[in-house]
Amino acid sequence: MASTTDTMSLNLKIWRQKDPTVEGKLVDYKVDNVSPDQSFLEMIDVLNDQLVRKGEDPIAFDHDCREGICGMCSMTIDGKAHGGFKNTTTCQVHMRLYKSGDTIVIEPFRAQAFPVIKDLTVDRSAIDKVMAAGGYVTANTGNAPDGNAIPIPKPVADAAMDAAACIGCGACVASCPNGSGMLFMSAKVSQLALLPQGKPEAPRRALNMVYTHDSLGFGNCSVHAECEATCPKGISIEHIARANREYMKAAFSYHEKTHSEGGA
Amino acid sequence: MMTSAVNHYFRSSIGRKHLVGITGLLLCGFLVSHLLGNLLLLVGPDAFNLYAHKLVSLGGLLYVLEAGLALVFLVHMYLAVRLNLENLRSRGKYAVKKRTGRGTTLMSATMPYTGMILLVFLVLHLMNLKFGSVYTTVVDGTEMRDIYKTTMEYFASPVSVGWYVFAMFCAAFHTAHGFSSAFQSLGWNHPKYYGKVKIIGYLYAILVGGGFAFVSVWAYLKGV
Ligand code: HEM
Ligand code: FES
C-alpha cells in the first residue's frame, strides 16, 4: 500500500483517571508512525503497546465490533462525541482525517448518568436500565411467524427502521448540553409505537421508559438537536417528538388495572 | 407508579416541557396582541388612549385575564428555570470546551439568559408604564388615563429606548428558538412541516421583536 510510507506523528492529550473515586487529568502523549489507514482505535492500540513496553498502565477504552454496529466504542474527541464526523462511530474514524502534527484531545463520554470507570471508559448501564424498563415487546415463543402475516406500510416500516438503527452508544447523552438521554429513549418508544407488534404495550412502555430515564440523572430536552447532529446512526429528533406524543397520550389515558380491580 | 401517571406527568422531563411549550406559545400570542395595541400609538393619542380605556373598562374580566397571564408567566418561568437547573447537574463536565454548534445555536444556548432578561424587563416595564406616572385626558367627552403621554414621556429618554430595544432583541432571540422548539416539545414535528415551522418562528421573532423596537424608536424620534 502506497500510503503506508507517509506516516503521521500526533500529539495526544488523553484523560487518565485511575478509578471513579479519584480526580483525573489530561496527560500528554506523542505517537509516531501512525498510518493514515489506521482506525482511531488502532492508533490508541499502538500507543498502548508502547505504554505496555515501557511498563506503564495502558489507556482503558471501550470497543468491541470495530465495525460501527455494536455501540461499544465511545470517546469524546476534540470535544465531540465520536469525533464529530457525520454518521461515524469512533471505531470508524480513520487517521487520514487528521494531519501529521495535529494535537488531539481525547476525553470519555461525559454525563451525570455516565460515571467514569477508568480513563476513557464510562459506566453506560443507565442506558440498559432505560431499555429494560420497556424497550421490548412481549411475544409468545414458538415458530417464527410468517413475515407477511402482519402487513406494515412501507413508510411506517422505514420510519421504525430509522429508529431501530440506534446502537445505544450514548453519544446523544455525551453531546447533549443537558446530558439528556431523550434521543436514545425516544428511538425505542417511537420504533415500537410505530409497529403493530409494539402498539399493545405502547402506553405502558412510554410511561415506564420516561419514568426510568428521568430517575437515572439524565437531563431534560431543550431542543438544541445536538444529539441529532452527533448520532452515528443519524437518528432524527422527530422520534423525540413522537415519544412526547406517546407519553402525553399515555399519561392521560392509560390506566393499568390493579389486582383488586381485576388486573394481573 | 402506573396509577399516578398523571401525577408523574407534572414532574417528568416530557410533561414539564409540554407545559413550558404551551405557556411559551401562549406568551407568543400575548406578545402579538400587545404589539397590535402598541401600533395604535402610531395612529394617535386618542386611538391609543381609547384602546387602553376599553381594556380597563372590562373591569372584573380584565383582572381575570391579567391573573391568567400572570399564571402563564409564572408557570413558564418556574418550570423553565427548574428544568435548566436540573440540566446543569446532568450535563457532562468536560476538561476542554465541548464543541457545540452543530445542533446548538446561539439562540438555543442563551434561552435561560434571554429569559431572565425578559423577566427583569417585565418588572421594570410594569413599573414604568402600567404603574408609572398618571395623567388624565378627555376623549369624546369621557375622562380617561392619558397612557399615551406616559408612554411618550418614557420613550423620550434615549436610555429607556436603548434598554427597550435591547430587551426586544432578547425577546426576538428567545422566540427565534422558542417558537419552533415549543412545537417539537408538544410533539408536533413532522418532516413535511417542521422546516416551515422553523421559518415561521424566525419570521415571528423578527416581526414581533422588530415591531416593538420600531414603535419605541418611532416614539423617541417623534418626541413628547
Ligand atoms: C414574553 C415572554 C416569553 C415568551 C414569548 C417565551 C416563549 C418561550 C417559548 C416558546 C419557549 C420554548 C418552549 C419549548 O421549548 O417547549 C421558551 C422556553 C424557555 N423560556 Fe421563555 N418565553 C418568555 C418569557 C420567559 C421568561 C420571563 C423566562 C424567565 C426565566 C423564560 C425562560 C425560558 C427558558 C429558560 C426556556 C428554555 C427551556 C428549556 O430548557 O427548554 N421565558 N420560552
Ligand atoms: S466498536 Fe462497535 S461500534 Fe465502534
Residue A29: predicted pLDDT: 97
pLDDT tens digits, residue range B30-45? 999 999 999 999 999 9
Residue B81 pLDDT exceeds 70: yes
Number of domains in chain A: 2
Which grid coordinates are listed for B36? 397590535
Residue B91 pLDDT exceeds 60: yes
- Averaged pLDDT, B92-121: 91
CATH of the domain at A130: 1.10.1060.10
Residue A230 pLDDT exceeds 80: yes
Across the interface, whether the CB atoms of A221 and B17 are under 8 A apart is answered yes
Which grid coordinates are listed for B138? 378627555
Q: Please, which residues bridge with residue A105 across strands?
A: A13
* Boundary residue ending a domain (A97, A118, A139): A118
CA distance B169 to chain A (A): 20
Q: What percent of chain B has pLDDT over 90?
A: 89
Any atom of ligand 2 within 6 Å of the Cβ of A71: yes
pLDDT confidence band for B6 (50 / 70 / 90) = confident
Q: Please, which residues bridge with residue A104 across strands?
A: A12
Same domain, A111 and A43: yes
Residues A218 and A185: their CA atoms lie apart, in Å, by 11
pLDDT confidence band for A5 (50 / 70 / 90) = low
Q: How far is the CA of B127 from the centre of ligand 2 (A)?
A: 59
Task: Enumerate residues 6+ apart whose C-beta is below 8 A from A65.
Answer: A72, A91
Taking each helix axis from N to C terminus, what angle separates B13-43 and B194-222, rounded to the nearest 10 degrees?
40
* Boundary residue ending a domain (A67, A94, A118): A118
Residues A240 and A193: their CA atoms lie apart, in Å, by 12
- Averaged pLDDT, A37-51: 96
Contacts of B109 in chain A (CB under 8 A): 177, 224
Domains and CATH numbers, chain B: 14-87+108-223 (1.20.1300.10)
For A107, the closest of B83, B84, B95 (CB atoms) is: B95
Residue B2: predicted pLDDT: 46
Residue A3 lies in a domain: no
Residue A182: predicted pLDDT: 98
Q: Which of A108, A29, A215, A92 is nearest to B86 (CA)?
A: A215
Q: How far is the CA of A184 from the centre of ligand 1 (A)?
A: 25
Residue A146 pLDDT exceeds 80: yes
DSSP annotation of B130 reads I
pLDDT confidence band for A264 (50 / 70 / 90) = low
Same domain, A237 and A131: yes
Residue A2 lies in a domain: no
Which grid coordinates are listed for A236? 432524527
Across the interface, whether the CB atoms of A218 and B84 are under 8 A apart is answered no
Q: State the residue range of the domain holding A256.
A: 125-260
Residue B47: predicted pLDDT: 97
Reduced to 3 states, what is the DSSP secondary structure of residue B12?
A: coil
Same domain, A133 and A243: yes
Average pLDDT, chain A: 94
CA distance A4 to chain B (A): 32
- Averaged pLDDT, A13-27: 96
Ligand 2 atom with least separation from CA of A91 = 4
Q: What angle do CA B93, B183, B63 make, to 5 degrees?
A: 105
Across the interface, whether the CB atoms of A217 and B90 are under 8 A apart is answered yes
- Averaged pLDDT, B181-198: 95
CB A29 within 8 A of CB A3: no
pLDDT confidence band for A143 (50 / 70 / 90) = confident
- Averaged pLDDT, A100-128: 97
Residue B1 pLDDT exceeds 50: no
Residue A86 pLDDT exceeds 80: yes
Which grid coordinates are listed for B61? 374580566
Same domain, A101 and A193: no
Question: Which CA distances in Å does A184 have to A58, A167, A188?
Answer: 31, 9, 7
